[in-house]
Amino acid sequence: MIMPDKGNVEGLVGYARRNFMVPIPQFATFDAFNAFLEEQCRKRQRDRLRGESETIGERLQRDLAAMQPLPASPFDACDQASAKVTAQSLVRYKTNDYSVPAAYGHQDVWIRGYVDEVVIGCRSEVIARHPRSWDREDVIFDPVHYLPLIEQKINALDQAAPLQGWDLPEEFATLCRLMEGRMAKHGRREYVQVLRLLENFDMADLHAAVKQAIHLGAIGFDAVKHLILCRVERRPPRLDLSIYPYLPRATVETTSAKAYMGLLSSGEGRSGMSTEAPDILLAHYLKSLKLPTFQREYQKLARLCATEGVDHIGYLTRLAEREMIERDRRKVERRIKAAKFPVVKSLDSFDFAAIPKLNKMQVLELARCEWIERRENVIALGPSGTGKTHIALALGLAACQKGLSVCFTTAAALVSEMMEARDERRLLRFQKQMAGCKLLIIDELGFVPLSKTGAELLFELISQRYERGATLFTSNLPFDEWTEILGSERLTGALLDRVTHHVNILEMNGDSYRLAQSRARKAG
């Protein structure tokens, strides 16, 4: 029975207010105020209540010793939500819009709302952090998120809403004027490229580099980038050609007057074409053909191949290879996103020594994914906390990297979704979708007993996938207890007959990871 403690909590709040904040203290920051309150609480622990033989602090330690250990992972005190990025690179959270980098437009993201901060991420990566706004219908921009778009549409530099109110040091405005006066429109674009250095460097380092560039008269993006790299790497700001191996070594020779006269005579009556025209046309063609890596890398790679003496076939081969590598990377990212993993984990981070009964060579063999091509199954059995889900996620990630479609779900969520699909008359479409997945991962089979209808729907799905697709199960129950999950011995026998016909079993018996980490933290 849980005793009501609301009155006790309110009483302690009143005690703290009367004894710690009368008269009202004055502090410059909340950190200083919290430090003061912590010190008052520590002083209070040295007091001894009437009729007690031990101090408050001593009683606290005795109570803590009797309590269960804290969870392995600290509690993340935040509100969690999900959203979709709009075309304007904004994410709506609690009536307010927060910006994310423009590259994440129209993607699904997760949100963690803290008291003072909003953190936005995509898959396993944090992509934006903002101070939390407690107003309504507010828009919180990070100007750096929109710089790639402004670089493409440079005329929007002065009017772009995300940049309004961006308080930059005055040296930035000076650099912009100098660049624009020297290179006109191209100078404005280079100025945006300077601002984009904030994607990887701190404002203090960039500000120092901009001031140094103005002082040296080195007005250009390359100069500012070189200066900030020198500052970060703590080396003198001089050009070292060994850092740029792709630059061809060139010699400058004197041109004779006769050669100049030949140029003049041969140029009469000829209308030259702008040297920028081929680059512009090539960029347009590559964009139309959807070859972004070609467009981004062809100039740099051409210089490198010229230095190494590589012929045109070798140059095209290298360029095509880079395009293929980048496309494969994007495909893997899309497959990981489609799999809906709760987190992305790999075998590199799994501690095999903690589960000595697990056959490491068997797991590494499964990571080659040949069992998926053979439409076999895997069942990971073991008590809670032994890493079954970690292994399932790692094998799912390996399958995504091999170019196979993966779907991750828990048994309870899968059954719930099938029952919802049945009620909405789309069960056949959902079953067809699941049956077409190369690898279906069903986690936590056995944690929650299934209803009769849910067990029948699960059996029907497994029957449809039998010898047509690979399925990976994780369960904390041995096979002879699966009847407790499905409720029917007949149904359990039929399901096990299909699941274990072509199966690889991972026995993961051992002590709980989380319990071991809690003990280690407590001992430390």
Cα-based torsion angle of the residue sequence 429, 433, 436, 437 in order, rounded to the nearest 10 degrees = -170
- For the range 485-488, what are the long-range contacts, defined as Cβ-Cβ under 8 Å and sequence gap of 24 or more? 485/411, 485/445, 485/446, 485/449, 485/450, 485/455, 486/450, 486/455, 486/458, 486/459, 487/449, 487/450, 487/451, 487/452, 487/455, 488/452, 488/455
DSSP class per residue in 38-51: HHHHHHHHT---TT
DSSP class per residue in 53-119: SS-HHHHHHHHHHHSPPPPSS----SEEEEEE--TTSEEEETTEEEE--GGGTT-EEEEEE-SSEEE
The dihedral sign for the CA sequence 210, 212, 217, 221: negative
Strands 503-507 and 470-475, how do they pair?
unpaired
- What is the Cα–Cα distance from 298 to 191, expressed in whole angstroms? 24
- What is the Cα–Cα distance from 6 to 365, expressed in whole angstroms? 56
- What is the Cα–Cα distance from 93 to 81, expressed in whole angstroms? 8
Residue 406 one-letter amino acid: V
DSSP code of residue 282: H
Nearest to 143 by CA among 99, 84, 173: 99
Helix (H) or strand (E) holding 148: helix 147-152
Q: Is 253 exposed, middle or buried (0-12, 13-18, 19+ CB in 10 A)?
A: exposed
* Extended strands (E) in 269-405: 377-381
Per-residue pLDDT at 274 = 47
Per-residue pLDDT at 361 = 92
- One digit per residue, the tens of pLDDT, for the chain of length 524 reads 445 567 777 788 888 889 898 888 899 998 999 999 999 999 999 999 888 899 999 999 999 889 888 777 777 889 988 888 988 899 999 989 999 999 998 888 999 999 999 999 987 789 999 999 999 889 999 999 999 999 998 988 888 889 988 999 999 999 999 998 888 888 899 999 999 999 999 999 999 999 999 998 888 898 899 899 888 888 887 766 565 565 555 565 665 555 555 555 544 444 444 445 677 777 778 888 888 888 888 888 888 788 777 788 888 888 888 788 788 888 888 999 999 999 888 887 788 888 888 899 999 999 999 999 999 999 999 888 888 999 999 999 999 988 899 999 999 999 999 999 998 899 999 988 898 899 999 998 988 888 899 999 999 999 999 888 999 999 999 888 898 888 888 899 999 999 988 899 999 887 776 666 666 665 65
Nearest to 125 by CA among 103, 93, 141: 103
